[in-house]
Structure 1
Amino acid sequence: MLFVGKGGVGKTTLAAATAVALSEQGKRVLIVSTDQAHSLADAFGSAGDTGNGEIWTVTPGLDALHINALDLVERKWRDIITSVAGLGSEHRHGVEWFGLEPEELTGVPGVEELLALGEVARYAEGEDWDVVVVDCAPTAETLRLVALPESVMAYVDRVWPQNRRLQAMSEDSLAGIAAGILDQLTQHTRQLRDLLTGDSTLVRLVVTPERIVFEETRRTVTAMSLLGMILDRVIANRVLVAYDRSGNVTAPTSRNDDPIHRWYRDRVSEQVAVIDELTSALGDIPLLTVGYAATEPVGVAALGDLARNVENLGLVRTPLASGSPDDARRRRAADCQVEHESGTGLNSVYLMRLTLPLVDPRSIRLGRIDDDLVVGAAGIKRRVPLAPVLRRCVVAGAEITGSELRVRFQPNPEVWPQW
């Protein structure tokens, strides 16, 4: 379960509260922070050194971990060096493997994020915990991290196709060693992609009910759908309640000349409008609201109280049954649907549909690379493999209908079979 959101919206607190709620249900829970500005220990009120990359126990049934990216890079690099050293000097081919320090690798884009993802996947695939809750880095970094596996695979395959790597691996050469490392990298990233977009991985987006945040929420929901992620629910945090001077709940339109009350009333009005708009735009994606507490909930007891005051915060959806309404919605968000719309032969029209909720039509970009359609939206690009029938077609047009991108194809006379 991934908790994502803009920095400062209370993502860590809600991730920690959810982890406490799940552990109180009898589940074995591991909560992991991939944000290098770690604050999990602060949320739990834990003392001592909790940032050394080791798992610590918060309460029975609830463990926590801060992933230290630099230590992780160093450990993985030392493993590679050990493997190369075992080959003997005659297989190093003049390459100074020992001359490169692990700190230098952190400058390579994506290295830290990829290794952090790998650690999360390793714990998620193990049997020590029932649920792994991930307190992710701010939204932009998290989306880049999730898009990374597919980007790595695409670049590696374009620069050095798999058939050539396999040929190089059969040779006793530097190219063979490099091919082996790259092959492991692509296999690793493919497994990460499958994990992040599978039915067992749910995403919870934490926002604050503000107008500018709403626009970012639109982009985030679109980007996650394009990446094939399952948005389990959106959580609106720090929601104010309207009161009159006696302390009774009142409508946000109440008149009062007091400047503090007026400011409070205006803030409530804005929040009500944003929440209503979000609820309407999200459709069947649940929206939870969390009240603005006077003090920050710190410690297991306070986090547990917070979770109990928010309906369904500790609810985890079970794997979807095939054919259920939610199954259909999530499948469309991750995959495209293709159908024959009209015509026959060269006059045929085929329709490809891809769900992009809350998408801004102005952000849509389309391209074609070999047998893939490249779809760009909300700052994210995804290569969508075309169905066999569409590979011999050309794009005839595209449009946005509601939350659905519709792309029409017509046969390419140069390659379409004709009898």
Structure 2
Amino acid sequence: MHIQLITGPGGSGRTTVAAATALAAARDGRRVLLVTGEPLVPEAERLRVARVDSGEEFRAELVALQERGSALLGMVGARPLGAEELTELPGAEQFALLRALRRAARAPGTDLVVVDMPPLHEAAATLALPAQLRRYLARLLPAERQAARALRPVLAQLAGVPMPAQWLYEAAARWDAELAEVQAVIEADTTEVRLVAEPGPAAADALRLGRLGLALHQLPVGAVVANRMVPQGSADPWLAGLAAQQEKYAAEWAAELPVVALAHLGRDPRDPQDLAVLAQTPGLVPGPPAPRTDWAVEDRRAEDGVLVWAAPLPGVRKSELDLIRRGDELLLAAGPYRRIVPLPAALRRCTVSGAALADGVLRIRFTPDPALWPRTP
């Protein structure tokens, strides 16, 4: 199963492009599932739509959480909230989307899943959530503290109610399992991101930062859809200038990534017929997923006495980078994005001795610590 996550700057037309991509792939013979909140899809064979309703997801999850913790709520005299009085909180959309992604990855008889993602900056943050939240759970409720579980039934009999700690650890274990499943989908070799943007200076800046956030979390970008391209050769000076600007930026993007040019219809797409026209665009049907970029460890002990960890971060600027070693982890900041990365086993026995940026690749130098590095006979 191939999963394509479609995002772009706000107002770039990513929802329309997601729907057109799903329709084009279905017409090409693939069995397609489109995950979206606002579909504009004509009837088509081999195409199904899964609608994301963040409000309903939030209400159902909170009601279920109250039911599982009813004993604890009763102990403190709390009054449970009814589903009809619940209004979703900020962040509910991201969690609803992640759950929809997990369900889509399980969908039988599906060749391609097309996911209509939030705007680019929010999408990068959403895709990083599962790994980040699992790290928080591991720190706040470490597995080794569950060794006392055998005592909880005794304590529960003495108190006459289930112990809150048991409910808390059970909830944490369930959340971790769900997050692990979503993380596996996001990090799978069959998952990639496709960017949508209307070529121009503002979109170029947004794509540079967005690609940086995706690269920091090692999420591959398969292509860019240059949306709303106006035709060349217009006699109108304004249209001719706009067309020239779009071609300039599309060509710059094409130097790094495949670009699919989607024509401007002369109006905003408003019905299934418009979507069907866009679905005929060559190159819109996704090809094989883009390969994931590994952060390779280069052994240069023979030449320089160091190991080098190379992290490709396309478009990053030196002033946007920051890194801190903390125990067996590296805190890496790139622009507005941050990631805490576990160090490979070999690098845990080293100290950070420097870093350099060249050609969009950050190379971090590690010097073996004589007190920790294995000695050769």
Give the TM-score of the pair, scaled to structure 1.
Answer: 0.79
The one of 295, 298, 304 aligned to 2:276 = 304
Match of 2:245 in 1: 270
Distance in 1 separating the partners of 2:151 and 2:178: 20
Match of 1:138 in 2: 119
Distance in 2 separating the partners of 1:126 and 1:242: 43
Distance in 1 separating the partners of 2:331 and 2:359: 20
Distance in 2 separating the partners of 1:101 and 1:120: 27
Distance in 2 separating the partners of 1:169 and 1:32: 43
How far did residue 316 of structure 1 move?
3.4
Which runs of structure 2 are paired with 1:111-190 in the superposition (5 Å)?
111-165=92-146, 167-168=148-149, 171-172=152-153, 173-190=163-180
The one of 262, 282, 301 aligned to 1:342 = 301
Distance in 2 separating the partners of 1:314 and 1:170: 57
Any idea what SS the aligned residue of 1:99 has?
Answer: coil
The one of 330, 343, 347 aligned to 1:373 = 330
Q: Which runs of 5+ in 1 are unaligned?
A: 46-57, 246-260, 319-325
Match of 2:57 in 1: 72
The 1:97–1:418 alpha-carbon spacing in structure 2 relative to 1, beyond 3 Å, is: farther
Root-mean-square deviation (Å): 2.5
Whether contact under 8 Å (2:232, 2:243) holds in the other structure is yes
Any idea what SS the aligned residue of 1:241 has?
Answer: coil
How far did residue 388 of structure 1 move?
1.5
Q: Residue by residue, what CA displacement relative to the aligned partner does 1:225-261 show, whole Å, maximum 9, x if unpaired?
A: 211212111111111222244xxxxxxxxxxxxxxx2
Which runs of structure 2 are paired with 1:225-374 in the superposition (5 Å)?
225-245=215-235, 261-280=236-255, 282=256, 285-308=257-280, 310-317=281-288, 327=291, 330=292, 333=293, 335-343=294-302, 348-374=305-331
The one-letter code sitting in structure 2 at the alignment partner of 1:314 is V
| Residues 1:44 and 2:41 are matched in the alignment | yes
The 1:241–1:166 alpha-carbon spacing in structure 2 relative to 1, beyond 3 Å, is: farther
Distance in 2 separating the partners of 1:218 and 1:169: 52
Distance in 1 separating the partners of 2:329 and 2:365: 14
How far did residue 358 of structure 1 move?
1.9
Whether contact under 8 Å (1:44, 1:298) holds in the other structure is no
Match of 2:14 in 1: 11
Match of 1:412 in 2: 369
How far did residue 93 of structure 1 move?
6.8
Q: Residue by residue, what CA displacement relative to the aligned partner does 1:257-285 show, whole Å, maximum 9, x if unpaired?
A: xxxx23223222322221222222x2xx3
How far did residue 342 of structure 1 move?
2.9
Any idea what SS the aligned residue of 1:9 has?
Answer: coil
Whether contact under 8 Å (2:55, 2:92) holds in the other structure is no
Any idea what SS the aligned residue of 1:397 has?
Answer: strand
Match of 1:222 in 2: 212
Whether contact under 8 Å (2:35, 2:100) holds in the other structure is no
How far did residue 315 of structure 1 move?
2.9
| Residues 1:99 and 2:80 are matched in the alignment | yes
The 1:402–1:134 alpha-carbon spacing in structure 2 relative to 1, beyond 3 Å, is: same
Whether contact under 8 Å (1:209, 1:271) holds in the other structure is yes
How far did residue 369 of structure 1 move?
2.6
Number of residue pairs aligned between Structure 1 and Structure 2: 363
The 1:228–1:100 alpha-carbon spacing in structure 2 relative to 1, beyond 3 Å, is: farther
Percent identical residues: 27
Distance in 2 separating the partners of 1:191 and 1:399: 35
Give the TM-score of the pair, scaled to structure 2.
Answer: 0.87
Distance in 2 separating the partners of 1:405 and 1:73: 40
Whether contact under 8 Å (2:23, 2:41) holds in the other structure is no
Match of 1:196 in 2: 186
Q: Residue by residue, what CA displacement relative to the aligned partner does 1:181-228 show, whole Å, maximum 9, x if unpaired?
A: 011112211221111121121211001111121011111112112112
Whether contact under 8 Å (2:131, 2:179) holds in the other structure is yes
| Residues 1:398 and 2:355 are matched in the alignment | yes
How far did residue 289 of structure 1 move?
1.2
How far did residue 148 of structure 1 move?
0.9
Q: Which runs of 5+ in 2 are unaligned?
A: 154-162
How far did residue 414 of structure 1 move?
4.6
The one-letter code sitting in structure 2 at the alignment partner of 1:383 is I
Q: Residue by residue, what CA displacement relative to the aligned partner does 1:337-373 show, whole Å, maximum 9, x if unpaired?
A: 11211349xx831111111122222211111232121
Distance in 2 separating the partners of 1:185 and 1:146: 16
Whether contact under 8 Å (1:390, 1:409) holds in the other structure is yes
Whether contact under 8 Å (2:104, 2:113) holds in the other structure is yes
The one of 28, 31, 36 aligned to 1:28 = 31
Q: Residue by residue, what CA displacement relative to the aligned partner does 1:158-190 show, whole Å, maximum 9, x if unpaired?
A: 222122145448724110110110111122112
Q: Residue by residue, what CA displacement relative to the aligned partner does 1:308-343 show, whole Å, maximum 9, x if unpaired?
A: 1x222013316xxxxxxx64xx2xx2x311121134
Any idea what SS the aligned residue of 1:171 has?
Answer: helix
Match of 1:253 in 2: none
